[in-house]
Amino acid sequence: MFKKKPLFIVFEGIEGCGKSYQSKKLYNNLKRLKIPVILTREPGGTPSAEIIRNLILKDYYNFKAKEKFNKYTDTLLYLAARNEHIINKIAPSIKKGKIVISDRYIDSTFAYQVYGKGVNKKFIQNIHKFILMNIKPDITFILKVKYDISKKRLKKRKTKNRYDKFSRSFYIQTQKAFLKIAKNKRNYYVLDASNDTPDLEKKILSIIKNKLKK
């Protein structure tokens, strides 16, 4: 028997690592076990946060625009979406005793904005003090992937993501950032997602089952 208790699970990694795929697989597996669970994402997850997400996407896709969002404007939009997400979905779901699975959370902000774009880390940390409500992931899965494999996966996407056209060096730098964030931290699981086999799905489910038995 599994204990009915709130659990906040986050999937992180570069584009094409399979985090969205694995988060959906875990969601479906937990639903089959009759465990109360929701699946969400960042940026987005609520109607208001999705509006902000679309605003960010629109800016990235407007290639002809002479003026683009400054990196701090961009970061503030992500944090605004997170604030809406936490208030309207994550916190209420955890309070109800549900398992929350999120496709991205705070580690993506540090990996992409801080390590990738050079945004001041303290700038983000100071805002997080006011918006996170002390909500931290119970388990974070960092999915690592070989660059060539991630690019092949991205090419197959029908809907392109804003990060799909970043350079090889940016992807490598960002993946290193995720691995650095996870290093020597409890409740972080770094898993190789380069191979499309059922083994990873089973391993992730096994980790969650063990957590629910405690």
Q: What is the pLDDT of residue 92?
A: 98
pLDDT band of 148, cuts 50, 70, 90: confident
All domains of the chain in start order, with CATH: 7-213 (3.40.50.300)
- Cis upstream peptide for 43 (omega within 30°): yes
Q: What is the pLDDT of residue 150?
A: 81
pLDDT tops 90 at residue 171: no
pLDDT tops 70 at residue 182: yes
Q: What is the DSSP string of 197-212?
A: SHHHHHHHHHHHHHHH
Q: What is the pLDDT of residue 35?
A: 93
Q: Are 51 and 99 in contact (CB under 8 A)?
A: no
What mean pLDDT value characterizes the chain? 90
pLDDT tops 70 at residue 64: no
Whole-prediction pTM: 0.92
pLDDT tops 70 at residue 166: no
| 198-214 confidence digits (pLDDT tens) | 999 999 999 999 998 86
- DSSP, res 194: -
| 78-130 confidence digits (pLDDT tens) | 999 999 999 999 999 999 999 999 999 999 999 999 999 999 999 999 999 99
Question: Distance between terminal CA atoms of the chain?
Answer: 10
